[in-house]
Amino acid sequence: MLSDQELAQYVESLVQHTAAQGGTGISADAVVRQLGAQLGVDLSPKAQLIRSVLVALLGPAAAPAPDPTGSRKDPFDPATAAAAGGPRAETPPQQMHFSTAAASSAPAPSPAVPHFFPQQHQHQMQYFLSAPQQYQHQQQQQRAGASPSPFDIPASYRYGHQPLPQADQAQLQRLVQLQHQQQQLAAAARVAAAAAPTPGESPRAPEPPPAPAPAASKKNSSASVGAKRKGGPGGLNKVCGVSPELQAIVGEPAMARTEIVKQLWAYIRRNNLQDPNNKRKIICNDELRLVFETDSTDMFQMNKLLSKHIRPLESKNDSKPEAKKLKPQGDEPISSVETDVNQLPLMVSDALATFFGTGEREMVHSEAVKRVWDHIKSNDLEDPENPTVILCDSKLKQLFGRESLTAHGVSELLSDHLYTQSTNI
DNA sequence: CTAGACAGGTCAGGAAACCT
DNA sequence: AGGTTTCCTGACCTGTCTAG
Q: Domain limits of chain A?
A: 4-59+160-179, 235-312, 344-419
Give strand C nucleotides closer than 7 A to any protein Cβ: 5-14
Q: Is the distance between the Cβ of A325 and the closest atom of strand B smaller than 7 Å?
A: no
More confident residue, A21 or A323: A21
pLDDT band at A137 (very low <50, low <70, confident <90, very high): very low
Residues shown for chain A: 425
* Residue A368 CA distance to nucleotide B3 C1' (Å): 57
pTM across the whole model: 0.32
Q: What is the DSSP string of A149-211?
A: PTT---HHHHTTSSPPPHHHHHHHHHHHHHHHHHHHHHHHHHHHHHT---SSS------SS--
Q: Is the distance between the Cβ of A230 and the closest atom of strand B smaller than 7 Å?
A: yes
Nucleotide nearest to A226 (CA to C1'): C12
Q: Is the distance between the Cβ of A280 and the closest atom of strand B smaller than 7 Å?
A: yes
A29-38, A186-195, A337-346: which range is least confident on average? A186-195
Q: Do domains A235-312 and A344-419 have the same CATH topology?
A: yes
* Residue A221 CA distance to nucleotide C20 C1' (Å): 22
Region A324-344: what's the mean pLDDT?
Answer: 37
Give strand B nucleotides closer than 7 A to any protein Cβ: 7, 11-18
Of A302-316, A333-347, A363-377, A391-405, where does the model show the most confidence? A391-405
More confident residue, A1 or A380: A380
- Return the pLDDT at A292: 74
- CB-neighbour burial class of residue A200 (10 A; exposed 0-12, middle 13-18, buried 19+): exposed
A43: region left, alpha or beta (phi > 0 left; psi from -120 to 50 alpha)? alpha
- Return the pLDDT at A198: 32
- The matching CATH number, chosen from 2.60.40.3620, 1.10.245.10, 1.10.1740.10, 1.10.3720.10, for A344-419 is 1.10.245.10
More confident residue, A345 or A184: A345
pLDDT at residue A214 greater than cutoff 70: no
pLDDT at residue A237 greater than cutoff 70: no
Q: Coil, helix or strand for A343?
A: helix
Q: What CATH code would you report for A235-312?
A: 1.10.245.10
Strand C protein footprint, C-beta under 7 A: A 219, 222-223, 225-229, 232, 234-236, 238, 257, 299-301, 303-304, 307, 312, 316, 325
* Residue A18 CA distance to nucleotide C14 C1' (Å): 45
* Residue A265 CA distance to nucleotide C7 C1' (Å): 15
- Return the pLDDT at A289: 75
Each residue of A289-309: pLDDT tens digit?
777 777 777 666 676 677 667
Nucleotide nearest to A234 (CA to C1'): C10
Q: Is the distance between the Cβ of A323 and the closest atom of strand B smaller than 7 Å?
A: yes
- Read off the amino acid at residue A331: D
- Return the pLDDT at A2: 60
